[in-house]
Copies of this chain bind each other. A is one copy, B any other.
Amino acid sequence: MPTRNAFYAQSGGVTAVINASACGVIETARRHADRIGTVFAGRNGIIGALTEDLIDTSQESTEAIAGLRTTPSGAFGSCRFKLKSLDANRREYERLIDVFKAHDIAWFFYNGGGDSADTCFKVSQLSAAMGYPLQAIHVPKTVDNDLPITDCCPGFGSVAKYVAVSALEASFDVRSMARTSTKVFVLEVMGRHAGWIAAAGGLVEDHGIPVVILFPEIEFDQAKFIARVDALVRAHGYCTVVVSEGCHHPDGTFLAEQGTRDAFGHAQLGGAAPVVANMVKEALGYKFHWAVADYLQRAARHIASKTDVQQAYELGQKAVELALEGQNAVMPTVERISDAPYAYRIGTAALADVANVEKFMPRDFITEDGFGITERCKRYLKPLIQGEDHPTYVDGLPVYVSLRNAAVAKKLGPFELK
């Protein structure tokens, strides 16, 4: 059987472990050199495919590809670029197929979140309709943990570990200072619509830390929130608040919004922490401190969850195996077998069931008062932050790889992005 080529691209916000999935894809493809020729990567994600700006990953050494497993960020570049609907911009989809055809690409691996799953699904449908059947496999990735069907999403476990560790450490700090100084510490974390990341802050409760979580799933009730903070400070001398960037008032307005929107049309958030901290100060007079973790949380490979790294790799590996089995328009998933001891297997979901579905925190993962997580939620979260996978350090800093990212010669004319 003659070999054919594969295309891999990273999409949307990058994570501490998306490169571990890339590593899984490329290493597995290399083990199947009898069927897979070259893995091309899109420079800056799908934009690289549209502009025929392909990276030849075969020029990367075995060591460099192995190093992806411990390197955060997107090694080939990612982008926030959502393909329009087929009706609105069929031209883009046709261009993708043209590029794939020109480079004899038979497999399309797209590593991203919900929007990317949708794109991946459409590419699969259109390529069939255009007589160039392509196997499109989606590799799940999102720190937001909001993809359906899969038990969890690569990237989430490491952010959850970062948030839990950071909340624990900062809470110890506040606890020791609370007698004369800061009594309320507010940590803002990511999560536009789903509160999974904020929920991870609730894990410190088992370490004796009084914590209030503000979820996007629960409408913000200022009076109730202030009362809860006051009760905790009176009982413990201090408290920690973990606020999701997506936390919003009953009328839908976010606690803080910078007023700008990203390429997907999502509001770009940031700054809920100072808003919440000042609310506490004004209502209760307590001294506060606040932190906004922003990119630090999703890039924090140094404190990645070993479980997360392993699953990211295995899902990349499985994607290639599914492709070689002849599957199309699917996404490998994590299927949980048991909580404790934690056991899982890698399963498969149809992209038709994944695209454009968001998975929120179930109501029974949130305590009745809306400010904490339940035992059920803790059982869900705990395995996902388990294990450490420390990178190697040289001169005090982790060793992260930067690839050569050699360009593939173009075969087509230019294409204008609109």
By a CB distance below 8 angstroms, the chain B residues around A204 are 397
A260 touches B287 (CB 8 A): yes
Partner of A173, one of B73, B271, B390: B73
User: Considering the chains assembled together, what is the distance between the CA atoms of A292 and B77 in angstroms?
Assistant: 25
Q: Which of A27-35, A96-104, A119-127, A179-187 contacts B (4 or more CB under 8 A)?
A: A179-187
Give A165's nearest chain B residue, CB to CB: B302
Copies of this chain, tallied across the complex: 2
Most B-side CB within 10 Å, residue of A78, A273, A298: A78
User: Considering the chains assembled together, what is the distance between the CA atoms of A315 and B398 in angstroms?
Assistant: 28
Interface residues of A in 1-32 (CB under 8 A from B): 10, 13-14, 16
Partner of A263, one of B170, B180, B260, B396: B180
Partner of A73, one of B176, B203, B207, B293: B176
Interface SS of chain A: helix, strand, loop or mixed?
mixed
A77 touches B161 (CB 8 A): no
Most B-side CB within 10 Å, residue of A170, A300, A385: A170
Whether a CB of chain B sits under 8 angstroms from the CB of A164 is: yes
How far apart are A235's CB and chain B's nearest CB, in angstroms?
A: 16
B296 touches A270 (CB 8 A): no
Most B-side CB within 10 Å, residue of A76, A175, A289, A296: A296
By a CB distance below 8 angstroms, the chain B residues around A60 are none
User: Considering the chains assembled together, what is the distance between the CA atoms of A274 and B72 in angstroms?
Assistant: 25
Given contacts A80-B181, A169-B398, A303-B303, 12 further A-B contacts (CB under 8 A): A16-B169, A44-B180, A73-B169, A73-B173, A73-B175, A77-B179, A81-B180, A165-B398, A170-B294, A291-B292, A293-B296, A296-B296
> Residues of A with Cβ closer than 8 Å to B?
10, 13-14, 16, 44, 47, 71-81, 161, 164-166, 168-170, 172-177, 179-182, 185, 187, 203-204, 207-208, 260, 262-263, 268, 270-271, 273-274, 281, 287, 289-296, 298-303, 305, 382, 384-388, 390, 393, 395-398, 400, 402
